[in-house]
Structure 1
Amino acid sequence: MHDIRFIRENPAAFDAALGRRGLSPMSADIITLDEKSRALKTEWQQAQARRNEASKAIGQAMAAKDSATADALKAEVAELKDRMPALEGEERAAGEQLTALLSAIPNVPAQDVPDGTDEVDNVEVARWGTPRAFAFPPQDHADFGPALGLDFEGGAALSGARFTALRGQMARLHRALAQFMLDQQTVANGYEETIVPLLVKDAALFGTGQLPKFAEDLFKTTDGRWLIPTAEVSLTNLVADQIVPEERLPLRLTALTPCFRSEAGSAGRDTRGFIRQHQFEKVELVTICRPEESEAEHERMVAAAEGILQALALPYRKMLLCTGDMGFGARKTYDLEVWLPSQDTYREISSVSNCGDFQARRMNARMRPDGGKQTVFLHTLNGSGLAVGRTLVAVLENCQQADGSVVIPDALAPYMGGVTKLEPR
């Protein structure tokens, strides 16, 4: 959500920031609705004050036996009493229109975010590792994975396309990856392990920006709750409608959860294999902090995600997303893209975003600086540390052998119970 006061005072700057996102100017419409809402509120307040004043004057007129004045005042009070509910309704409607308009506008980009229209304009910031030189043509995980326990047919038979069952040592490897990530983020990086609900109310998804704009990308249950698309929703909303004591900040939280996405906007993309699923697991990172800390926390969170890829010896590159490729709630985003030999390219495996106070305004999540009387909105950040399924794909493809087996990365040895290689069944 945007600061209406900032828009009132800086309409040109607000429109210029939206223009970097490829959006038309909106400040005039916003200010018109805001002025209407404020005028109606003022009119209601004036009517209420006059009603109270006239009601008091009625008693005085009656005490003075001035029936004509008393009758006139009673008529005025009755008219005000009839008018005030209508004014209140009009003011509420204008306020709801303003909120609906503001809630549909994406976050404004940070100054150092590059301008651009799509992923082509993203900027490579760093690259780590060297892609392996294979002595044989590397295969796609979808081709050799079934012999190792990727059961695409079984998952599809149970639930339809983009659902997969994992069996035997493939399931063990997936679990090992998830536990390794969670241990790294808690023990090495200081994030607090958290178990969160997978079903949430509308307000939680509004708070993090998925609703109302992206409802079609979500799964809704018969009782009106939503399956989380990422643990970011649950973790971030733990501070909704709260004033967090400054001494508790920053809050660094992590959770390993299933995630559920309808992928409504990705028809035809990655329909083969294990890259884009309706159900997948992810270790999510969330930080809630003071406004002045968020830039440093952003770099810290990216480094925490990078550490997983480095420990697994998976080559990757770090990309700074342009204005046209960032998510709705982000003001700045880094993507980590892992090397996939079968595609001869880098593919996204983690997206780490600084949302500034955008989500906190939607959630009404604040802090009171030490010694201060006024509260300020918190800053929130989120990122994958990492997506378990995509990391599994990267391990399979980068560690594959000519005979169809896969060598387990050394970092996973404590989690694999002595298994050092996945062998075709």
Structure 2
Amino acid sequence: MGFQRYKQSKGSDMKVLHCITSTGFGGAQIMLLRYLRALGQRAHDHSVLSLMPQDAIGQEIASLGVPVHDLGLQQGRYSVRALKTLRQHVRHTQPDLIHGWMYHGNLAARLATIASTAAPPVLWAVHHSLQDIHNERRSSRFFIRSGAALSGGVSGISYCAQVSAAQHEAIGFASDRSIVIPNAIDTDEFRPDAEARARLGAIAGIPDGRIIIGNVGRDHPMKDQARMVAAIARLLELGYDVQGVLIGTGQDVGSARRASHELGISDRISTLSERSDIAKLVSGFDIFLLPSAWGEAFPLAVCEAMACGVPSVVTDVGDTGLIVGETGAVIPPSDTEAQASALAKMVDLGPSGRKAMGAAARDRICQNFSMSRYIDAHDQWYHEALSQGQRGAWSLNMASKTGISK
């Protein structure tokens, strides 16, 4: 029973199985949630299978009426039994195509169809940059290289960033199936909010009139958030009345918190743990700073801040330069003085100058990174995969059709 017979037996509706590593908080998980939410009633043709136990994002997806299942695997632990369960799940649900998310989810999606006589096409989504594979954990390096070896057997590979596509192709990911579908933002959820400044100030104890430099992201060495604190310390030395705010998992005890104590500016650094009301707080920033040294592909936090009308200073990692364009400042990574200088220039613009830059930033997000564009790109990708089959040649070059303005 070949692929064409399998596809024809399914009728006109397209059933999509999303195979993802986990449903905890993360960029790929959030994009899957936003995508399914934006589909509305069409989301009922989709289902999700998580390798790890269902977590917060999985619960939100299930609340949309989308079936969510999991294999119950613990991080770093895999088994033949789990693979057997996965293959049984695919045979039982009979999706028209399988959409893998993240390295482990991608590999699982491919392994679920190897040697199957009625396999649906498999698509992979890569939401990770790969500046240097040696920066990755040993286990991650194994799965990345395994992905490269198996990538020729899938129908398509999407990357959320152009830089990510080039990096993965350089280590052997199949380039003839590569497309770029940039991440997207719900601009109705993330929008300017006149009350956000007071709301954030009350939560973090920030006096009125103080310039707030914000960052949203988990505590991790690649985020280089201790350097953000050092840049803020430099601004304070120069006489600027600023407050740093970092929001994300581990921030209450992370590197930024420790650096603030070491530099003697703990009262000027506010750290908040992971929150579910980010959209109601980000608009309260005066400036958004992405200090990351590496590891970013297409950082959602930058797009969210821009959609909220907040001008950004970003390090030149991943596709940040493409995201920001001329609506913010792009600086070299791992450079404290460059961060402090760019932030000082942004502060010196004054409220009206920052507001104008922030408005241009929001327009850029609305024009280039809307959810409607994201849905259209996936519709086109899915239909192309179905028409080509499991191992058909890939013809759609989204990298040249993103239409992102300069």
Compare CA radii of gyration and give the structure with the larger one.
Answer: 1
Q: Greater share of strand residues, 1 or 2?
A: 1
Q: Per the shorter chain, which TM-score range?
A: under 0.3
Q: TM-score, length-normalised on structure 1?
A: 0.23
Which structure ranks higher in relative contact order (CA pairs < 8 Å, sequence separation ≥ 6)? 1
